[in-house]
């Protein structure tokens, strides 16, 4: 795969189709798009109900937690679909087959991300439907302010996915656990369900540099019925672009190392 020739929409669609076959025939993959979304919606919805009753925050408490988990699934689904899309090719030892076709790196990532969008719709749709059915929380009531927030979270999710791919290219399949580990680290640091002031003081500066922190802060304001905080949104947008550029540079560098050191032998 190389990044230099013109992009072929046919090849992008073909990669997406290949991963549709995988989802269609690998029941365990439905855990990410159905099982965990249902579990998360029930868990955080119930926690919200309990805390709203005990602390007297009312329906707002439920809304904070459910909006948080729904938006977190945007990051999670974007990241996990990209990372596992690449990992699928290493698991099935298909990497060499792909690398000797005209497929470029960009087309591969675009194809996996394209199908990842479909998985994201399924995963986020599942959380949203369960939240509506069991807790009468309608995410669409938050309004169109959600659109830029979702776009930012999508970019960050894909960026984390690229970083995971880069690390796997460099150190091999032993790094696969990071596909789930990195996102698990991002979740508490980003203040998905609480302001970063609730974090231990030592972690707050780290949280402040994450674009997800500002995206979730903006989302909480909107859920609370306030106007969209443009300053938080701007910080999140700038941060997400920087993250994406750094992630792309990192995976490009790791691919160069992969080719230079002949690491394909790990996958044949």
Partner 1 sequence: MSSGQTVLRATALVKRYRRTLAVAGVDLSVDPGERVGLLGPNGAGKTTTLMMLLGVVRPDEGVVEIAGHTLPAERSRAMAHVGFAAGYLPLPERLRVREFLTLFAKLYGLAHPGPAVEEALDRFGIAHLAANMGNELSSGQRTLVGIVKATLHRPRLLILDEPTASLDPDVAHKVRAGLARICAEDDTALLVTSHNMTEVERLCQRVVFLSGGRVVADGSPDEVAAFFGRDDLEGVFLHLAETEGERAR
Q: Coil, strand or helix: which one is 246?
A: helix
Binding range to partner 1, per CB under 8 A, among 45-53, 124-132, 141-149, 259-267: 259-267
Residue 7 gets the label, from left (phi > 0), alpha (psi -120 to 50) or beta, of beta
Q: Coil, strand or helix: which one is 267?
A: helix
Kindly tell me which residue out of 31, 58, 59, 94 binds partner 1, with binding defined by CB under 8 A: 94
Using the rule CB under 8 A, is 171 a contact of partner 1?
no
Between 68 and 85, CB nearer to partner 1: 85
Token look-up 């969209």 returns 228
DSSP state of 33: I
Kindly tell me which residue out of 66, 80, 103, 131 binds partner 1, with binding defined by CB under 8 A: 103
Q: In angstroms, what is the minimal distance from the CB of 72 to partner 1? A: 29
Asked if 256 and 263 touch (Cβ cutoff 8 Å), the reply is no
Distance CA 76, CA 72 (A): 6
Asked if 100 and 248 touch (Cβ cutoff 8 Å), the reply is no
Between 13 and 170, CB nearer to partner 1: 13
Q: In angstroms, what is the minimal distance from the CB of 263 to partner 1? A: 9
Alpha helices in the chain, H assignment, sequence order: 9-25, 30, 36-55, 59-91, 95-99, 105-135, 146-171, 178-189, 204-208, 211-223, 230-260
Using the rule CB under 8 A, is 259 a contact of partner 1?
yes
Between 28 and 54, CB nearer to partner 1: 28
Q: In angstroms, what is the minimal distance from the CB of 118 to partner 1? A: 17
Distance CA 182, CA 149 (A): 20
Residues 2-61 that bind partner 1 (CB under 8 A): 2, 4-5, 8, 10-11, 13-14, 17-18, 21-22, 24-26
- Exposed, middle or buried, 179 (CB in 10 Å: 0-12/13-18/19+)? buried
Using the rule CB under 8 A, is 136 a contact of partner 1?
no
Distance CA 33, CA 42 (A): 15
Binding range to partner 1, per CB under 8 A, among 71-79, 93-101, 117-125, 197-205: 93-101
Kindly tell me which residue out of 28, 55, 140, 260 binds partner 1, with binding defined by CB under 8 A: 260
Between 5 and 203, CB nearer to partner 1: 5
Between 105 and 221, CB nearer to partner 1: 105
* Residue ranges that bind partner 1, judged by CB under 8 A: 1-2, 4-5, 8, 10-11, 13-14, 17-18, 21-22, 24-26, 89, 91-94, 96-104, 256, 259-262, 264-265, 268
């Amino acid at each position: 795969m190389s990044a230099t020739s013109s992009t072929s929409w046919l090849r992008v669609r073909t990669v997406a189709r290949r991963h549709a076959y995988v989802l269609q025939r690998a029941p365990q993959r439905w855990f990410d798009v159905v099982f965990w979304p249902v579990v998360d919606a029930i868990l955080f919805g119930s926690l919200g109900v309990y805390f709203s009753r005990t602390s007297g925050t009312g329906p707002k408490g439920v809304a904070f937690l459910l909006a948080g988990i729904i938006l977190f699934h945007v990051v999670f689904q974007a990241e996990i679909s990209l990372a596992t899309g690449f990992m699928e090719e290493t698991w099935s030892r298909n990497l060499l087959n792909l690398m000797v076709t005209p497929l470029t790196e960009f087309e591969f990532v675009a194809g996996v991300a394209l199908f990842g969008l479909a998985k994201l719709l399924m995963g986020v749709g599942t959380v949203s439907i369960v939240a509506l059915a069991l807790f009468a929380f309608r995410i669409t009531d938050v309004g169109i302010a959600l659109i830029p927030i979702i776009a930012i979270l999508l970019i960050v999710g894909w960026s984390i996915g690229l970083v995971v791919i880069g690390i796997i290219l460099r150190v091999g399949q032993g790094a696969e656990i990071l596909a789930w580990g990195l996102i698990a680290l991002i979740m508490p640091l980003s203040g998905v369900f609480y302001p970063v002031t609730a974090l231990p003081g030592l972690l707050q500066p780290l949280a402040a540099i994450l674009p997800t922190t500002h995206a979730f802060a903006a989302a909480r304001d909107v859920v609370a019925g306030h106007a969209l905080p443009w300053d938080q949104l701007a910080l999140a947008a700038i941060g997400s672009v920087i993250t994406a550029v750094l992630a792309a540079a990192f995976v490009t560098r790791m691919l160069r190392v992969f080719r230079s050191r002949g690491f394909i032998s790990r996958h044949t």
